[in-house]
Amino acid sequence: MISAMTLRRGALRSLLAVAAVGLVPAGVAAAGHATTSEAALPAGTEAAAQTAVLFDDFDYTTHTDPRLRERGWTVRSYGGGPGVGGDTWAPENVGFVDGDGGRVLRLEATTDGTEAGTAQAEILHQRKFHHGTYAARVRFTDTPVSGPDGDELVQAFFTITPLRFPDDPEYGELDFEYLPNGGWGQADSALFLTSWETYDPAGDARNESTAVPGGQAGWHDLVVQADGTSLRYHVDGRLVAEHSGDVYPDTPMAIHFNQWFIETGFLDSPVSRTWEQQVDWVYHAKDEIVSPDEVLAEVAGYRGAGVGHVDTVPAP
């Protein structure tokens, strides 16, 4: 419940004050951005007593950059759902390119309408996030960067607990999922905000979902606040969905970004086409409800101080 949660501000200011006096060890990214972790904060400092935060500016070189694994990220290479079955998740489809204001994460999905000709992309963090605020700046696209348009696909920022067995009571999932060509009952473009209680792969699903119709191409600031009882989804500072009750997640989750094709929604064409999704940054404040404006202010503060990565969220 919100009354039992930490509702403190100033974690960023404290962390930057520590960095300014040289107490944060020199873990320096390739572009000169400082980094810190829970272990790097000296015991007794104000920052150590403040809200635990994850912030990543995605200032990496390639999907094989060793700092990704060191910082808790996994680039997906294993098979399985969602999307097209088989071994269609390609690590090389996760990359990093220059964007507005610095490097951005790039997720590429390519298909010719067959399983053998499909390569999807996903990157995920550790399963250690529960109550608090989740945010990311994501660029959705409405058309492929090459090849014909028409596939039904999903561009997503979400959190999830693995499903151990059908109707697993510990399962949870919070989704921002954009479908540029429709699907799931929507004829045209739509953004789905969905909170999951659990599901059975055979067909039964228990969730609450809000569909926002219309194109969403371009950059968007996505924020979901989880206060212990309710879930509030924001897009560009606007509250667009609120869910509560049984769909509130019961256990810690991992943070994911992915792009994948809806198996039943392929364009009828053998010509290869490639889609792109980008992510500028990701942020989480543990056990704290942070407004969308405050999230942007904190991100700007990290960047202004040259801090490209922070992770003080305790390990699971």
Q: For the chain, how far is it from start to end, CA to CA, in angstroms?
A: 21
Q: Where are the beta strands (DSSP E) in 227-301?
A: 230-235, 238-244, 253-261, 273-286
Q: Which residues contact 211 (CB under 8 A, 6 or more apart)?
A: 186, 190, 191, 192, 193
In CATH, what number is assigned to the domain containing residue 219? 2.60.120.200
- In a domain? residue 66: yes
Report d(CA 255, CA 125) in Å as an integer: 5
* 255 contacts 159 by C-beta, under 8 angstroms: yes
Q: How many domains does one find in the chain?
A: 1
Lowest-confidence segment of 30-39, 45-54, 72-81, 225-234 by average pLDDT: 30-39
- In a domain? residue 145: yes
Question: pLDDT-based confidence at 94, cuts 50/70/90?
Answer: very high
Sign, CA dihedral 197-198-204-209, equals positive
Q: Is the pLDDT of residue 6 over 80?
A: no
Mean per-residue pLDDT for 197-208? Answer: 92
Q: How far is CA 6 from the centre of its chain?
A: 23
Q: What is the pLDDT of residue 203?
A: 83
Amino acid at 198: T
- In a domain? residue 43: no
More confident residue, 29 or 138: 138
Mean per-residue pLDDT for 95-107? Answer: 93
Q: What is the pLDDT of residue 8?
A: 39
Pairing between β-strand 34-37 and β-strand 307-311 as defined by DSSP bridges: parallel
Q: Is the pLDDT of residue 158 over 50?
A: yes
- In a domain? residue 27: no
DSSP summary character for residue 315: P
Amino acid at 281: W
- In a domain? residue 80: yes
User: pLDDT tens-digit profile of 274-301?
Assistant: 999 999 999 999 999 999 999 999 999 9
More confident residue, 283 or 11: 283
Domain boundaries, position 97? 54-292
Q: Is the pLDDT of residue 113 over 70?
A: yes
Neighbour count for residue 182 (Cβ, 10 Å): 15
Share of residues in the chain with pLDDT > 70 (%): 84
* 122 contacts 258 by C-beta, under 8 angstroms: yes
Q: Which residues contact 70 (CB under 8 A, 6 or more apart)?
A: none
- In a domain? residue 313: no
- In a domain? residue 20: no
* 78 contacts 91 by C-beta, under 8 angstroms: no
Q: Is the pLDDT of residue 28 over 80?
A: no
Q: How far is CA 127 from the centre of its chain?
A: 12
- In a domain? residue 39: no
